[in-house]
């Protein structure tokens, strides 16, 4: 942000500080503990784990031994690498206030301060719902206008894997869905043999709204047990959200795609009216822990502080 006067600038920092303190206070009372992760990631490992993340957006560095490193594009991966080797199977609740780095379109390094929580060692549905509701509470406590979008990464992954094992085709389909590009997706679907997965994919962009609406759109398609389980899980989450009164702020979107491929299960994105990107992203990411050498139930979310501070400051 740019400021006209020093006074305005200092006011902005005061707002920022207040928000940081409130966020920290709220999670600390819930038993979350602070962690400070490392700045560097190994380039090869990171890109292998996140094949759809644009390589040109990563800030690269070369170590003395000639190894290519990235300035952490994502805080969660960094925390897991730090925590997992020492994890003793007990439930862990962590939070962070850390910066991640990104190369923007103008080839400038962008620092993004993130706030987030991670809950490890508890794979229960209650833990999932608890973290999701903490996400809602961030917005509710700040009194801002927001929308939360919820899906389950297993939904699209299952559909796509049933159809093709070709990774480059899987990546292309995910990209079309990510851009809600019905035209490109339809062009591809046209040449496929009609199966129930294809039927679902051809309607994927209509599967948004409440779970009732989604189920209605799917009622004439015979879904596999795996897909039904996912829908039932989402239904359960929706009724939990309804019970705390946040349903109006919620959209189920089964065509939702995450930039990071490590989510496996419930995932969600929070939007603020004034922002141009989702400001909050989260979900269950057990596979990431496995890729890092040790499988452990894990769920969390991350919040871009700048966007939230801006919204609060302007209102």
Partner 1 sequence: MKKNLTIALPKGRLGDVAIEKFRLIGWANTIEESSRQLVFYDENMGVTYMLVKPSDVITYVERGVADVGIIGKDSILEEKANVYELLDLGFGKCQFAIAGKSEQSLTKKDEVLKIATKYPNVTKAYFEKKAQPIEIIKLNGSVELAPLVGLSDVIVDLVETGNTLKANGLIILETMMAISAKLISNRVSYRFKYDAIRALVKHMEEL
Contacting residues toward partner 1, per CB under 8 A: 105, 147, 149, 179-184, 208, 251, 271-278
Give me the least distance between CB of 181 and partner 1, in Å please. 4
Smallest distance from partner 1 to CB 276, Å: 5
CA distance 89 to 91: 7
| Shortest distance, position 271 Cβ to partner 1, whole Å | 5
DSSP reduced 3-state for 6: helix
φ/ψ (deg, to 5) at 123 = -95, 10
Burial bucket for residue 265 (CB in 10 Å: 0-12, 13-18, 19+): buried
Q: Which is nearer to partner 1, 127 or 252 (CB)?
A: 252
Taking the C-alpha atoms of residue 278 and residue 256, their distance in angstroms, rounded to an integer, is 12
Radius of gyration of the chain measured on its C-alpha atoms = 20
Region at 148 (left for phi over 0; alpha for psi -120 to 50; beta for the rest): beta
Nearer to partner 1, 13 or 179 (CB): 179
SS3 159: helix
- For partner 1, which is the closer residue by CB, 8 or 186? 186
Q: Closer to partner 1 by CB, 55 or 125: give it.
A: 55
Min. distance of Cβ 149 from partner 1 in angstroms? 6
Q: Burial, 194: exposed, middle or buried (Cβ in 10 Å; 0-12, 13-18, 19+)?
A: exposed
What is the closest distance, in whole angstroms, from the C-beta atom of residue 315 to partner 1 in the complex?
16
Nearer to partner 1, 208 or 289 (CB): 208
Query: What is the smallest separation between the CB atom of 292 and partner 1, expressed in angstroms?
Result: 29
Nearer to partner 1, 5 or 168 (CB): 168
- Spell out the residues 6+ positions from residue 38 whose beta carbon is closer than 8 angstroms to its own: 72, 78, 81, 82
Cα distance between residue 47 and residue 125, in whole Å: 30
Q: Which is nearer to partner 1, 196 or 210 (CB)?
A: 210
- Residue of 112, 94, 127 lying closest to 237 (CA atoms): 127
Q: How far is the CB of 88 from partner 1 (least distance, A)?
A: 41
- Assess contact for 247 and 212: CB atoms under 8 A: no
């Amino acid at each position: 942000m740019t400021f006209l006067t020093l006074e305005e600038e200092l006011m902005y920092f005061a707002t920022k500080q207040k928000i940081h303190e409130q966020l920290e206070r709220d999670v600390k009372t819930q038993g979350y503990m602070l962690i400070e992760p490392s700045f560097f990631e190994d380039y090869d490992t990171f890109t292998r784990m996140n094949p759809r993340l644009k390589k040109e957006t990563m800030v690269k560095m070369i170590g003395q031994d000639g190894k290519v490193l990235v300035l952490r594009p994502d805080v969660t991966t960094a925390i897991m690498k730090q925590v997992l080797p020492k994890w003793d199977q007990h439930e862990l609740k962590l939070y962070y206030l850390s910066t991640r780095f990104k190369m923007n379109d103008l080839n400038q390094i962008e620092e993004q301060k993130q706030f987030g929580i991670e809950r490890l060692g508890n794979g229960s549905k209650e833990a999932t719902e608890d973290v999701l509701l903490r996400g809602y509470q961030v917005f509710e406590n700040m009194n801002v206008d927001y929308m939360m979008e919820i899906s389950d990464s297993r939904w699209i992954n299952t559909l796509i894997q049933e159809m093709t094992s070709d990774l480059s085709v899987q990546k292309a389909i995910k990209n079309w869905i990510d851009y809600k590009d019905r035209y490109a997706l339809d062009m591809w679907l046209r040449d496929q043999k009609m199966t129930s997965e294809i039927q679902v994919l051809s309607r994927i962009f209509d599967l948004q709204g409440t779970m009732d609406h989604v189920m209605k759109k799917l009622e004439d398609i015979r879904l596999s047990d795996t897909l039904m389980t996912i829908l039932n899980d989402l239904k359960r989450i929706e009724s939990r959200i309804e019970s705390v009164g946040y349903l109006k702020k919620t959209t189920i979107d089964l065509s939702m795609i995450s930039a990071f491929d490590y989510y496996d299960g419930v995932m969600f994105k929070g939007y603020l009216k004034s922002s141009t990107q989702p400001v909050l992203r989260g979900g269950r990411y057990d596979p990431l822990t496995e890729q890092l050498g040790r499988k452990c139930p894990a769920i969390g979310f991350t919040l871009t502080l700048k966007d939230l501070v801006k919204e609060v400051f302007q209102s």
